[in-house]
A and B are shown apart, each in its own frame.
Chain A
Amino acid sequence: KAGVTQTPRYLIKTRGQQVTLSCSPISGHRSVSWYQQTPGQGLQFLFEYFSETQRNKGNFPGRFSGRQFSNSRSEMNVSTLELGDSALYLCASSLEGGLGEQYFGPGTRLTVT
């Protein structure tokens, strides 16, 4: 089975721009979660989508948004980029009815200049 894929792997943007990241979950997994990883804050939960609905949300400003499509693929969008948004963005998929384990993609490294 193919793992979680994320595109692009690397991205460089300028302050004020917006960015869209994409995640394709493992086949059969309908839950997709997004995390931000930075050296200072560690791994922080952004949001989780299930069946095209946001089911859980972390403590991030409204500039961070996401969506999920009927095939379970998910995108997250960050508008009005700030320098502090530079991070590794990780997507994880999970099987409903599982035990809470998540399967992570390789991440998208976003650099804001």
Chain B
Amino acid sequence: GNSVTQMEGPVTLSEEAFLTINCTYTATGYPSLFWYVQYPGEGLQLLLKATKADDKGSNKGFEATYRKETTSFHLEKGSVQVSDSAVYFCALSRATGGFKTIFGAGTRLFVKA
């Protein structure tokens, strides 16, 4: 079946450090891939998405590239801020036959000033 594996946290970084959160997936066919972010006390927000191989999703300085050959969708940001502290979820979804998103376990990020 479909599954998503992402690196365990927590990840603790200093402000302006480089961020990488690894994500790999197992899926049949060609799913869309997503990163969602959850701030304390809130629901999930869509951060970025990619729908086919070699697509790069980007938003708010975050980027991730859909790598079919390595079945990966790693999240990167060049310079993190304290306000980026949150839990990040990698996810895959197929929009045919209805919506059923499969989420990774989440990676908590702490950014220190």
Chain A interface (Cβ < 8 Å from any Cβ of B): 4, 6, 31, 33, 42-43, 45, 48, 50, 55-56, 58, 90, 92, 94, 97-107
Contacts and interface: CB of A to CB of B under 8 A. Distances in A.
User: Interface residues of B toward A: which range?
Assistant: 20 to 34
Contacts of B97: 55-56
A102 B99 contact: yes
Contacts, number: 71
Contacts of B45: 104
B95 A107 contact: no
Secondary structure dominating the interface of B = loop
B49 A101 contact: yes
B99 A31 contact: yes
Q: Which of the listed residues B51, B98, B105 has the most CB atoms from chain A within 10 Å of its own CB?
A: B98
A99 B95 contact: yes
A102 B93 CA distance: 9
Contact of A45 (B94, B101, B104): B101
Nearest to B42: A106
Contacts of B95: 94, 97-100
Contacts of B32: 99-101
Contact of A48 (B41, B51, B100, B105): B100
A43 B98 contact: no
A-B pairs with lowest CB-CB distance, top 5: A100-B93, A104-B43, A55-B98, A100-B32, A43-B103
B44 A100 contact: no
A101 B98 contact: no
A95 B41 CA distance: 25
